[in-house]
A and B are shown apart, each in its own frame.
Chain A
Amino acid sequence: AQSVTQLGSHVSVSEGALVLLRCNYSSSVPPYLFWYVQYPNQGLQLLLKYTTGATLVKGINGFEAEFKKSETSFHLTKPSAHMSDAAEYFCAVSDRGTSYDKVIFGPGTSLSVIP
């Protein structure tokens, strides 16, 4: 069975500082990996995804993530935090072996940005 863990339910960074949100996954087959952002009382927006190819994936709003198979990790980073980055972030995994992309979400990390 697939699963996702996110270290740190809450992360605070200063504006302009590096953002690092950690994600580790468990999957019996090569996974598809995703990062989503959720603003209060809204749906999910896809930040980036890894399917195949280059392990460093660039997404929207300056975010990027690196797939490290040996570490079963897919950490999300952004060089310089902005106030508008404050939100809930979810790492997710899907099983590329299924006929449809059943997505399993991690518990989420709440990011606060301090002025």
Chain B
Amino acid sequence: GAVVSQHPSWVICKSGTSVKIECRSLDFQATTMFWYRQFPKQSLMLMATSNEGSKATYEQGVEKDKFLINHASLTLSTLTVTSAHPEDSSFYICSGEDNEQFFGPGTRLTVL
């Protein structure tokens, strides 16, 4: 199957700083990519849908100014958590669509 990578796999940052997470489709072009967050022992919650060359579509309750998504190419989408706070600590997973969704390995963000 198709491969999606995420970088970094884990990151620790101080409260108030910004963190960028990259999601890459390695062997296919993903017109659409999705960003999810997962709290411990919970399910994946869709945050936003990212379409190449256009603005992301955010789910209800997700702050678009806090979670900046850029989908500059068919193989790269980035999620920037701005002014991170401890409550933003979570596991962030992206996926790319190639007839079906292929998920990245996730990025664990810890905000101190």
Interface residue ranges, A against B (CB under 8 Å): 36, 41-46, 49, 90, 100-108, 110
Contact = CB atoms under 8 A, between A and B. Distances in A.
A43 B100 contact: no
Which of A42, A44, A105 has most B Cβ within 10 Å? A44
Contact of B93 (A43, A46, A102): A43
26 contacts: A36-B103, A42-B105, A42-B106, A43-B93, A43-B103, A43-B104, A43-B106, A44-B44, A44-B93, A45-B103, A46-B100, A49-B100, A90-B44, A100-B32, A100-B49, A101-B97, A102-B34, A102-B49, A103-B46, A103-B101, A105-B45, A106-B43, A107-B42, A107-B43, A108-B43, A110-B41
Contacts of A45: 103
Given A100-B32, A101-B100, A105-B43, A41 B106 contact: yes
Interface of B: 1, 4, 6, 32, 34, 36, 41-46, 49, 91, 93, 95, 97, 100-101, 103-106, 108
**5 nearest interchain CB pairs?**
A44-B103, A43-B105, A43-B103, A100-B32, A105-B44
Contacts of A90: 43-44
Contacts of A100: 32, 49, 97
A103 B106 contact: no
Contacts of A104: 46
A108 B91 CA distance: 15
Given A43-B106, A104-B46, 16 more contacts: A41-B91, A41-B106, A42-B105, A43-B4, A43-B103, A43-B104, A44-B44, A44-B93, A45-B103, A90-B43, A90-B44, A100-B49, A101-B97, A101-B100, A107-B43, A110-B41
